[in-house]
Amino acid sequence: MTLAAATNENLANISNVLIYSAMAVYTLAFFAYIAEWLFGSRSKVAKTAAALTAKPAEAKKAPAVTVNTAGGTAVLERPKVTVRAAAGQRDVPDGPGAHGGDEQGDLYGRIAISLTVLAFLIELGGVIARAASVERAPWGNMYEFNITFSTVAVGVYLGLLALKKNVRWLGLFLITSVLLDLGLAVTVLYTASDQLVPALHSYWLYIHVSTAIFCGAVFYVGAVGTILYLFKDSYENKLASGGTPGTFATSVLERLPSSASLDKFSYRVNAAVFPLWTFTIIAGAIWAGDAWGRYWGWDPKETWSFITWVAYACYLHARATAGWKGRKAAYLALIAFGCWLFNYYGVNIFVSGKHSYAGV
């Protein structure tokens, strides 16, 4: 098989400049998100404490059933039934978001999103330039995987916003981790633009690795939602038991969605992408059959991909079982994402195997 053309150093340098430029714009977006949280109103946030303590006796009282007559016909008026939140058996309103429901906070939030879009486009340009510099998919080493992963993660966030999903609360946490990811990429994981090793010269690179990156980005979004759920659930538990959370916790956590909403968000995100992760493993096995003459050999990457699949399968099964909703299922979700992270970083960097393409 003929190798691709030699590396275009000019395009490789352009890619590096674009990645650093994206980091600069992400930093501006980070400060804009901080301003959204700081300057958003604290007086307009939903009052979780009031929702947890308001007239508990009335909440338990069964609604009456009334019968009206209209033209000699009995009409049964169905009582209104409140469906309790599955995660914590509480009915708590969602917070208004980081902006706190006021115009000033909302302005900073819109600026932050605009900067995030700009940084995303610049970083995407950097990924494309990196690919063009060697005329191949930019997934040959950990540096390229990192810059692509962070681009896709931001793309998932912006896609949810475009679908009118209430996820602006995710912005600060996402951009913080993206900056850390890119900082790691351009320092510890940086690898000069180069050609692929022979085993990676296959169209399966575009299928298998692209789906793995997308799945990881969505799993990451689900993990952030799970972590925030644990904090919000602890906050609601403390209020329900008569405790008094600190001022900082109140200021931040009152603006987030309720624990039930965060729990539902994380579950739906993880459940939606799990079939694609299953396909990713199958595609990898088919590629292994083409490249190495066997579909499965318990290579460390294959093993940890399967462990990750089992962990998420256990989480989804437990989450769908009544006794494992809420915090127990959330811990399983974080364990599953931890398996994915080890498969992403640990196996590539610290473990030797057929998938040792970290380039560091």
Q: How far apart are CA 170 and CA 220, in angstroms?
A: 11
Q: How far apart are CA 248 and CA 115, in angstroms?
A: 26
Residue 338: per-residue pLDDT: 95
The closest of 269, 271, 35 to 171, measured between CA atoms, is: 35
Q: How far apart are CA 328 and CA 323, in angstroms?
A: 9
Residue 90: per-residue pLDDT: 66
Q: Are 292 and 286 in contact (CB under 8 A)?
A: no
Q: Are 127 and 148 in contact (CB under 8 A)?
A: yes
Q: How far apart are CA 126 and CA 21, in angstroms?
A: 9
Sign of the Cα pseudo-torsion (223, 228, 229, 231, in order)? positive
Residue boundaries of the structural domains of the chain: 197-360
Structure-derived torsion over alpha carbons of residues 135, 136, 137, 142, reported in degrees to the nearest 10: -100
Global confidence as pTM: 0.81
Task: Count Cβ atoms within 10 A of the Cβ of residue 112 and give its class: 0-12 exposed, 13-18 middle, 19 or more buried.
Answer: buried
Task: Supply angle C-alpha 58, 63, 64, rounded to 5.
Answer: 130
Classify the phi-psi angles of 326: left when phi > 0, otherwise alpha if psi is within -120 to 50, otherwise beta.
left
Q: Are 351 and 300 in contact (CB under 8 A)?
A: yes
DSSP for residue 242: T
Q: Are 34 and 109 in contact (CB under 8 A)?
A: no
Residue 269: per-residue pLDDT: 93
Residue 290: per-residue pLDDT: 78
Q: How far apart are CA 212 and CA 221, in angstroms?
A: 14
Task: Count Cβ atoms within 10 A of the Cβ of residue 82 and give its class: 0-12 exposed, 13-18 middle, 19 or more buried.
Answer: exposed
Residue 87: per-residue pLDDT: 45
Bridge-partner residues for 66, per DSSP?
Answer: 77
**Structure tokens that stand for 305 in this block:** 């991909």
| Residue ranges in the chain assigned as alpha helix (H) | 9-39, 48-53, 56-60, 103-134, 142-162, 171-186, 204, 210-240, 247-253, 259-292, 300-319, 327-341, 347-350
AA identity, residue 249: A
Q: How far apart are CA 115 and CA 325, in angstroms?
A: 37
Residue 62: per-residue pLDDT: 45
A 10 A CB-CB count for 184 gives 16
Ranges of the chain whose pLDDT falls below 70? 1-6, 42-90, 194-201, 322-323, 352-360
Q: Are 232 and 45 in contact (CB under 8 A)?
A: no
